Amino acid sequence: MSHALRIGIAGLGTVGASLVALLQQRKNELAVTCGRPIEIVAVSARNRNRDRGVDLSALDWYENPVELAEKAEIDVFVELMGGATGSADESVRAALSRGIHVVTANKALLARCGVELATMAEEKGALLNYEAAVAGGIPVIKALRESLTGNNVRRVYGIMNGTCNYILTRMEKEGLSFADCLKEAQRLGYAEADPAFDIEGNDTAHKLAILTTLAFGTRIAPDDIYLEGITNISIEDIRAAADLGYRIKLLGVAQVTETGIEQRVHPTMVPRDSVIAQVDGVTNAVAIESDILGELLMVGPGAGGNATASAVLGDIADIAKSRPGAQTVPVLGRPAATLEPYRRAQIQSHEGGYFIRLTVEDRAGVFAGIATHMAANGISLESIVQRPQSGREASSQTIILVTHATREDALRSAVAAISADGYLVGNAQVIRIERTKAD
C-alpha cells in the first residue's frame, strides 16, 4: 500500500468538523478503496478551544491558515473557511505555489479568481478540486468535468440555494408571508443572520458562473449575470402561480444563444407537473441539457455538514487514487489557457413567456389601456385573469397576464408605458415562465 495522503484542513465549522469525523470514522475503509491511507495531520481554525465533537489532540494546530498552507508537511490543503478574499484566497495560493493539491468548497473564491487559480494549479502540476462548491452533495462538477465529455451542453439550470427553496416551499404549502418564512429559516439555521447573500440571488450566481464555464468552455463571468432575488415574491404571486398550474422557484439558468451565453438568476414559474417543481425544502436540483444525453437531472442535499463534507471527501479520495505523472482532468474542464472569452448574449425572446401581476385602479378604460400597450409592443397574451379586491382595497383590482414568448425589452417597455398612465397601484410584478424538459 502506498504512503499515506497527508491532509491539512483550514476551517473547522460545521463542514470541517463533519469532514474530520468522516475521515476518522472511515479510516480503514478509505485506505482500502483509495489504495492508501488518508491521514489528517494539521488543522487551522479561529477558536482552538471550541468543542467540535471530534478529537483534534494529535494534530498540528496552526493559528494562521496561510502558515498551514506554507509550512505544514501535507499533500492536500482543504480550504473550508469561505470568502472570496483574505485568508481563503491567500492560503489557497500559498498551497498551489508549493505544488500542494487543493480541495475547496468556496464558490465565491472560484467565481472571483477561478481561472487564475486553475492556471496556477496547472503550472505546478497540482490538482484543484471543488465538487462541494456547487449544489452540496450533488456531483454536478464531476458530471460536467468528466462524465459528459463529448456532449455539447446547451443549457444548465437548477435550484442551487436551499434557503430560497425552503422559503418558497413554506410560503406555498403553509400560506405564510416571505418575512415569516425567512424568520423561521433563520431559527432553523437554514438562513444566516444577514440573509442577503442568499435571498438576493448572489449565492446562486456564484455557483452558476462556475457551471457556465464548465458547460460552455468560457472564462468565468460572475459580473455578467442578470440577478434578481426572491424578496419581492408575495403570497399573492404564489397563489396565482398555483391557479395557473405553476410553482415558483429561484432558478439559475445558463444557456447558449445565437448571440452568446445567457446567464440569469431570478424567480421562475415552472410547470407544476415538472420534476424540478417537486423539489422542495432545502433540497437542490441541477439539470444539464446536451445533444447526446438529452437532459440529466440531479437532485439531492445542497447544503449541510454531512452533504458538503461528503463532496469534499470525494474530492480527497480522487486525489488519493491519482498517481504521479498520470493524466489529470483540467480544473475547469479544459486547460485554462484555452477557455474562450465570455460573450454575453443580447436580450432575446424568452421561451415560455412571462407572468405579470398588476394591481390597478378600478375605473373605466384601464383594461383597454393595458391591452393597447401590450399590442403596441408586439406582445401576444396567452391568458388574462381579473381579480376584484375586497375590503379597504375595493377601489382596485388585480389583473394577471400570461404572455407567449416575447422579447424582454418589449415587455419592459410595455410595463413602463402602463405605469406612466397613472392607474397602476404599486409596482408591477414580472416573473419569467421557464419551460422544462424534466417532466
- What positions carry a catalytic annotation? 207
E strands, 97-162, are 101-104, 128-129, 153-159
Contact 171, 178 (CB under 8 A): yes
Contact 79, 106 (CB under 8 A): yes
Contact 380, 404 (CB under 8 A): yes
**Is the four-CA dihedral 26, 31, 32, 35 of positive or negative sign?**
positive
The C-alpha cell of 30 is what? 478509505
Report which DSSP code applies to 119: H
Beta-bridge mates of residue 386: 399
CB atoms within 10 A of CB 397: 19
The string of DSSP codes covering 149-216 is TT--EEEEEEE--HHHHHHHHHHHHH---HHHHHHHHHHTTSS-SS-HHHHTTHHHHHHHHHHHHHHH
Q: How far is CA 133 from the centre of its chain?
A: 9
For 83, phi then psi, to 5°, come to 100, 140
Contact 218, 399 (CB under 8 A): no
- Report the C-alpha gap between 389 and 383 in whole angstroms: 20
Contact 163, 199 (CB under 8 A): yes
Report which DSSP code applies to 36: S
